[in-house]
Amino acid sequence: MLQKLPEQEFVRVHRSIIVPFSRIENVRHKMINLAGEEIPIGSSYEESFGKWFKS
């Protein structure tokens, strides 16, 4: 599914969760706040998400 989405607009943060960058409200302690919901960042996705988040 991720391959069909625009790479610049979406990121996989967990085995079963793909989120749009534009909807991320904040990130704290391996958790993403998105539309009032807390979404965990999976340990195998931390590094790739961190690279995107820092840039």
Task: Give the pLDDT score at 55.
Answer: 65
pLDDT in tens, the chain (55 residues): 778 888 888 889 999 999 999 999 999 989 999 999 999 999 999 998 888 777 6
Task: Give the pLDDT score at 7.
Answer: 82
Long-range Cβ contacts of 36-41 (<8 Å, 24+ apart): 39/13, 39/14, 40/13, 40/14, 41/13, 41/14
Query: Taking a C-beta distance cutoff of 8 angstroms, is the pair 55, 29 a contact?
Result: no
The total number of structural domains that make up the chain: 1
Task: Give the pLDDT score at 4.
Answer: 87
Q: Which domain holds residue 16?
A: 2-54
- What pTM, to 2 d.p., does this model score? 0.79
The residues, any chain, with a CB within 8 Å of residue 47's CB and separated by 6 or more, are: none
